[in-house]
Amino acid sequence: MNFKNISVEEKEAVAIVTVNRPEKLNALNVDTISELHKAFEGLDQDPDIRTIILTGSGPKAFVAGADIAEFADYSKKEGTRLSKKGQELLFDYLENLQTPVIAAVNGFALGGGLELAMSCHFRIASDNAKMGLPEVSLGVIPGYGGTQRLPQLIGKGRAMELIMTASMIDANTAAAYGLVNRVVAQEELMAECLKTAARIANNSPVAIGKAIKVINEGFKSNASGFDAEIKAFGECFGTDDFKEGTTAFLEKRKADFPGT
């Protein structure tokens, strides 16, 4: 299958999926989300693929966020649809994939990029990685599961602080928080992920698929939180703060929020 924004490479029982938009720091747009869905769907149905590694192209970014220029003019209805479709097509879909997915976080993982990494079954980061959910600096909230998965991974208090301050944390802090499993040198990241993927591939794919399912079941007490996130995310698109935040970003200036 040919893709415009991603590439898929198979190494024996391991597939490497790479977001390939380096000129945009691998930012997610609607087309890339659709391509990722198709790639994961095909790989999950391939009995020869036992593990998937997801990464970004180039030395700077895993996925630096969503492509803000694509949705800066969206209405509340369009924003709600963007969040709902994205969660269904990729983020929730990825989290529940029966083939394990390792996020090889090789640089910036911000906004939708961190949400994508958190949807993977676990994360290994390079020592230059930076992570954060800066959406509130644009007058919006994380809309691809970030308000739900981040507290699950690092705890409510740390998640509240990280989201409200729109801050970035480095790889070692992310490891200390439990956001990533471990940190390795940038040049060793793919080798480490391949080694881990090979160990997974030696085990029963049926048992692993069931393990993924039942582990995820244990976190479903807040399932309605995702619906609340979709609704609130869409509502942000009808505010003056969102208009100011996205306009300032595209104009490369500091936002001056009216707060309405």
CB 82 within 8 A of CB 71: yes
Marked catalytic residue, from 95, 135, 229, 244: 135
Burial of 227 (C-beta count, 10 Å sphere; 0-12/13-18/19+) = exposed
Does the annotation count 10 as an active-site position?
no
Would you tell me the crossing angle of helices 146-154 and 156-165 to the nearest 10 degrees?
130
The alpha carbon torsion through 249, 55, 88, 132 (nearest 10 deg) reads -40
Distance between start and end Cα atoms, the chain:
46
Does the annotation count 115 as an active-site position?
yes
CB 75 within 8 A of CB 238: yes
**CA nearest neighbour of 89 among 36, 129, 125:** 36
Marked catalytic residue, from 35, 115, 192, 229: 115
Which residue matches tokens 């997974």? 200
CA distance 151 to 157: 8
Residues with catalytic roles: 115, 135
